């Protein structure tokens, strides 16, 4: 399996993990945890935009485009951010995301995001293609 194929596969896996986490976030009413105004309505619109951006990034990555690699790094950063922020909230005593599957999901997202960054660095194109 080529490194590019590995990156495509891990992107898809991390994408699935992150959006499973977003389903969990709806259960925990994450908009309240982060103080997002608009409640579930804005939360849903934000997640629609994030889902479309992640799908676009996956498409660009499959096409071998420079923008696909950039969006792969952004997806990885989102995973590390999710783990870090939720870990912080758990440490300071918030009860959200403390069920076993919620916690396992966050840890797996962190590990997979870190691996995705490593594979992304190893497969990053040496020259930027003319069409982003």
Closest CA to 94 of 40, 28, 37: 28
pLDDT number for residue 38 = 94
pLDDT number for residue 2 = 87
Angle between helices 3-27 and 100-123 in degrees, nearest 10: 150
pLDDT number for residue 110 = 98
Termini Cα distance of the chain? 25
pTM above threshold 0.85: yes
pLDDT number for residue 130 = 54
pLDDT number for residue 125 = 81
Q: Contact, 12 vs 54, CB < 8 A?
A: no
Length of the chain: 132
- What ranges do the domains of the chain cover? 3-123
Per run of 10 residues, the mean pLDDT along the chain (length 132 residues) is 91 98 97 94 97 98 95 98 97 97 98 97 75 60
pLDDT number for residue 116 = 98
pLDDT number for residue 129 = 54
Q: Where do the DSSP E strands lie in the chain? A: none
Given 3-state DSSP classes, what are the helix, strand and coil percentages for the chain, each rounded to the nearest 5?
80, 0, 20
């Amino acid at each position: 399996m080529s490194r590019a194929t590995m990156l495509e596969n891990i992107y898809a896996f991390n994408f699935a993990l992150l959006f499973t986490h977003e389903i969990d976030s709806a259960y925990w009413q994450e908009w309240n945890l982060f103080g997002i105004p608009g409640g579930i309505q804005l939360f849903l619109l934000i997640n629609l935009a994030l889902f479309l951006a992640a799908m676009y990034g996956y498409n660009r990555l499959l096409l071998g485009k420079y923008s696909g690699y950039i969006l792969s790094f952004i997806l990885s950063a989102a995973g590390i951010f999710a783990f870090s922020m939720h870990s912080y909230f758990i440490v300071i005593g918030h009860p959200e995301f403390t069920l076993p599957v919620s916690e396992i999901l966050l840890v797996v997202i962190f590990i997979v995001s870190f691996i995705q960054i490593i594979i992304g660095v190893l497969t990053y194109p040496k020259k930027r293609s003319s069409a982003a």
